[in-house]
Structure formats: structure tokens, C-alpha cells
Structure 1
């Protein structure tokens, strides 16, 4: 059972947030001054076909080369990065341990207790933990958040990062990275999110993550097998293009004039249905209605999609922009970071680890 840096504390001199997905690698580097943030560097690079299967890296060298290209394009000189494993690949559990324990004694106790909460052989697991605070049930105990993932899953990402000549300084979980970044969305929320329930829907290439926050803390999350690749595949079927050609045409333009009616409107209906079903499942468990929906990811850039989803589900829906109150360096602005902003939630959450 190996310790990983899920909750490394202390300020890092510099740190890149690196979001590795089946469609792309996205990196962002932030600095802070006077209580505000500035984007120092940004880049995105397509992930080589078949290099990542769902969330499993099957060709670390190919992914590493994509990361290397992204770093070069960004112009960043930073070599330490924060990466994340998917929420589905991690187990998180709040456990109770005696409050007098600290240091090595606390670590030994957590490792001992972990055996009862992790359904894998301890030799296959990497873990980390953080003290949350006093137990609400027993004054002699303290709550500790335990996070674990298969070592193989963690090492896949570490190997790809190292193949790019970088140092994986922090290994986080996407759930926590998203929660960390959501404070960058407070400017878009009613009452800055205070006392509010807000759903965040991140439409990725092959997976959509539906999260619900209360007071800017994640209270619910589920992953859906749905994403922008389905739109690309429909373009392939409708217009006879290759998958690569369809992907470029989808983002760069050049599709026939009937594209919106024949393909895009149906896909937006599918997006709305995914959100509606997720809301139904959430409400059946929590019996509360979100005050707002924020959508992000590449599909959030489809013109008019927020209005379509909002009208179908009956909840005010807006496009999330985690960079909305950040300043941009000329270098990042030239790389098109503002156009990519809605797809940078996870990368921003990882980059913010520099400051916490």
C-alpha cells in the first residue's frame, strides 16, 4: 500500500494543472497576486487515437509525446504538474480515528483501518488521507478523509507525465479538482453560491460528469457514458467523413448547411435528456431542486445549447467560465485560452493546488 500525493499541502513555487483525457491533454498554469489569479500559460493538444481507452492509458509514450507538445506550445518553463485520476477509479471514505493520534501513529492507524474500507488487496492500492476535523459522534475521535486508488491506475498517469520530461508532484481525484475549481464559478452563481444548490454538467469527449454543489461543496456526483464523440460519430454517419475529419469539421467549421437541422439539434436534445435524467436521479435521492445549472466542456460551446437545456429542464442554465474573473498573460491569450475556458474546469482545479 503506497502513499500518493492526493492532499499534498504547502505552496509550490510553480505547478501546472494537467488534465489528461481520451480526446485531449489540457494544461494551465496560474499565478496569484492581490487576491486574484492570472493565467500564465495554457495549451491543449489532441490525444493520439487509441492511446487512452475510456480513462485507461494504454500507450503512455504516445500520451507523453502529446503532453510534451502541449508544454512546448504553452511556453511554460515549469516542470512540476498536478494530475488526477477519475472519480470512478478512486474510493473516498470518511473514517474515525482517535483524536490524539498524529504523525506516523496516525498514518499507521489509517492504513490499518483502510483494510476494512477498500475492496482491493492492500498490495495493489495507493492511498492518501487528510484530517477533516472533530468527529460529530464521538468527542474522543477525529474524522479523516481516506482516498485510495489502484496503484496501476496512478502509475499509468505518472509514467505518461514522466515520458514528457515532467514531474508528477500532486496526484488528485477529479472530484476534488472540480470542487476546488468551482469557487472560480461563484461569480456566475446566485448569491455567489452561498446557501445555493448548483448543478455542474461537464460534457467531455466520452464521459459527462454531473455534479451538484451546495455552498460550493460537492454533495453528489455521477458519470454518464455520453459525450462529444457521439456527435462526431453522427457526423461520420451522416456525411461519410473519417472520424478525424469529422472532429476537425465539428470544431473548425465546413460542414454542410443542413448540419444544424440534420445532426446538431438532435444531439442537443440528447444532451438535454442526459441532464434531465440526472436531475431526476438526484432529486429522488436528495428531494431538492438545483437553483441553477452550469454547463462546461467542449459541447458547452455549441451555440444556443444552454438555452435549449434550460428550457427543457425548467432551470436557469448558463455556460461555466472558470476564467471569468482571471487576468490573462499575453502568451495565454495568444494561445486561445479564453475560447477554451469552458473545458478547463478540471485543469484549473489542479492548477489551484499550488495555492492550497
Structure 2
């Protein structure tokens, strides 16, 4: 079954916006290209999800999530209905393999399927499977490096079902970690010497999970996930003030909490977060040859807490900054700069997804790659790689795991 990706490579192709469904909120960002390498923020919004509507990356309350997406789309005020969505990394299996060079397309596809059976713990007909030829294998000119990627059909279809029910069209399904790293490239440019030869720790602290990704010269050298997030603070607020979880979350976001909140709850939480960051870095140091990091970049919902960067810097003795991928972007009249600055760190995935449209625009002069799709799955959610839309160095930015998209056929 073939796939025509010409529309994706056309700068006049249909527009889309980034839709991030996290465990606590629905986040939407719409960007457009602005000049050769610039971007413009057209609009964005954040809508809080009902408690446990998304659990461990799974859509547990479809109606609740759909209603939230509808409200967010209406509030954002866009006419665009095509969206780029993302799966959590836990839902995706990726593996680089080496194959002989010179294989015909059908031979390469058969080789990929054979290799995939060794690494995918599911029946091959239960997954969406794709592959991307990255290039010649290091130091072995007669072999090729190929990335294979797979996810159970139901994980893709759950995301697509949310979009469908909300009246939207899931044109792209990416991976959260890849989307966040796409946004991180914009932050890396803000570091001294654009972060060259520097070790950067990206801390993404969401509602329930804190992810540490360590990068050097754009390459991931370490990753760790641990259970810690802003949901713990929300639960503390709920218990302390006798609120429902939803009311506690709303009050936390709005800052409408009684006097004494900072001393009794917020400050201890910030200290605990800084301690968890310090512990995560210690795991990194003991697991690798590295013994220091040059910068910490804080992202996720926890990073919006005023002063959290100073608390983390004091605890770790490392220069710490708050992630803002929009820092050098032009803002439309619909976007309030102060609000976006406050929310920026929690919009990394949504921003990275929205960048897909702009990357297509900027790279539209490049010819399509010669890669082929080895898709095993439904016609509604076709796993396809669009290598021409991402510059070659981005392959290295995720340790050789090339960003791939599920594109609606």
C-alpha cells in the first residue's frame, strides 16, 4: 500500500497545529514560518483535563478528553482542524538495525519485518510498523543503518479517535520525546556558543513523571524517568484545604490560594523537586563517564513555578534556566507575551509538534528521500517517515533515532 507524501513536502500543503494531550491538560500551539528560519506564534491555549482522564499515557476517559479538546479548540479560535499529535515514549519501540546495502525495496521491507520480529513483543499484525534508511553504517560502506519503529495499533488509534470525536483530523502522530527535542533545538541556540561541547540536562517535570535527558552537541547521552511531578502538589493542596482535585489544580494554576500556601506547601515542594533533580543527576554521573553538567533546562508544568530555577540552581550548583522555545519568535496580536512567557515551559511538546508544519515549509525545496514505508496497520493511521522534512543532523540529535510520523492517508 503506497503513500503519497507530496502534500507534506509542498509548502502550500494543508496547515496544522500541535495538540499535546498530557496527563493533566490539553495544550495547543499553532505556528507559521516567518522568513527563512524564523517562526511566528499565531495562537495557543491550555485546557485542564479531568483527574485521571489520561493515566500512564493511556486515554482512560475518552469523553472527558474529547470535551476538553473541543473546548480548547474553540477557545484557541483557529479554523485549522488538522493536528499533529504525539504518543508517549513508553508506547513506542524503536531500534536501529544494520542491513546489507543494495537491497531492492521489497527485499529491504522483508528484512525489516524479519528483524522487527526479534524486537517487538507483539504479533506483527498488531502493530503499526515503519522503517527509515538513515544512511551508510559507520565504517562499513557496504551496509546501511535503518531505524525501525513500532507501536501497537490501539495506542495510535486511541489518539486518532480523540481527534475524530472532537471534529479534528489527526494528520500526524509523532512521539513526545522527539517533539520535545525538536523544541529543545530552539532553546539550545540561547545557550553560550549555542551549547557547543557543553553537557545540557533537560528536565521535563510534568504532573506525574519527571524525565531527565542529557545531551551533548545535540546527541542524547543519557535518559532517565522517575515518578515525581506537580500532581503531588495538587494533591497536597486538595488535602490541606479540603478541595476537590480539580478545584485544587485550578487554584494552583490561577494562584488563588490562601495566605500561608507558599510557606506551608509550595516552598517544601520546590525543595523536593530540586532534590529529585539533584538525585537524577547523581544517577547520571554514576552511570556514565561524565561528572558534571554545564546547564540545566527546566521544562514541563513544574517549571512555571516562579523561582523554581533559582531553587534548583542553589541545590545543584549548576546554571539553570527555564525552557522557552518561543523566545525568538514573532507573536501575533492574538498572543499575549506575558501569558506565553508564563506558560512556555509547559508547551515544549505542543511547540515541537507545531514545528512540523514550519519544518515542511522551510525544507520544501528539498527532494523527497528514497526511503520506503514498511507499514503494517490500519489505513486510518499510517506510520510514515518524512525524512526530507528534518535536516540530516536531527538524526544524531536523538542518538540516531530519526523522528517519524504517523500520517493520515
Q: Give TM-score, length-normalised by structure 1.
A: 0.93
Structure 1 residue runs without a partner (length 5+) = none
Aligned to 2:32: 31
* 2:91 is aligned with 1:89: yes
Aligned to 2:204: 202
Go from structure 1 to structure 2 and tell me whether the alpha carbon gap of 1:117 and 1:248 turns closer, same or farther (over 3 Å shift): same
Aligned residues: 353
Aligned to 2:295: 292
Go from structure 1 to structure 2 and tell me whether the alpha carbon gap of 1:83 and 1:102 turns closer, same or farther (over 3 Å shift): farther
Q: Deviations over 1:201-244 (max 9, x none)?
A: 11111122211111123332222211111001111222222212
* 2:117 is aligned with 1:115: yes
* 2:307 is aligned with 1:304: yes
CA contact (8 A) 2:39 2:330 kept: yes
Aligned to 1:328: 331
Q: Deviation at 1:334? A: 8.1
Q: Deviation at 1:36? A: 0.6
CA contact (8 A) 2:87 2:173 kept: yes
CA contact (8 A) 1:43 1:335 kept: no
CA contact (8 A) 2:40 2:331 kept: yes
Q: Deviations over 1:159-178 (max 9, x none)?
A: 11111111111111112111
Aligned to 2:54: 52
Return the alpha-carbon distance in structure 1 between the equivalents of residues 271 and 202 of structure 2.
18
Task: Pick from 227, 242, 247 the counterpart of residue 244 of structure 2.
Answer: 242
Aligned to 2:75: 73
Q: Deviations over 1:28-54 (max 9, x none)?
A: 111112221001121111113332122
Q: Deviation at 1:3? A: 11
Go from structure 1 to structure 2 and tell me whether the alpha carbon gap of 1:135 and 1:270 turns closer, same or farther (over 3 Å shift): same
Go from structure 1 to structure 2 and tell me whether the alpha carbon gap of 1:10 and 1:285 turns closer, same or farther (over 3 Å shift): farther
Go from structure 1 to structure 2 and tell me whether the alpha carbon gap of 1:199 and 1:183 turns closer, same or farther (over 3 Å shift): same
Return the alpha-carbon distance in structure 1 between the equivalents of residues 257 and 110 of structure 2.
60
CA contact (8 A) 2:200 2:295 kept: yes
**Runs ≥4 residues deviating over 6 A:** 2-5
Q: Deviation at 1:60? A: 2.2
Q: Deviations over 1:166-195 (max 9, x none)?
A: 111111111211111111102332211222
* 2:129 is aligned with 1:127: yes
Aligned to 1:282: 284
Question: What are the equivalent positions in structure 2 for 1:199-278 lying under 5 Å apart?
Answer: 199-278=201-280
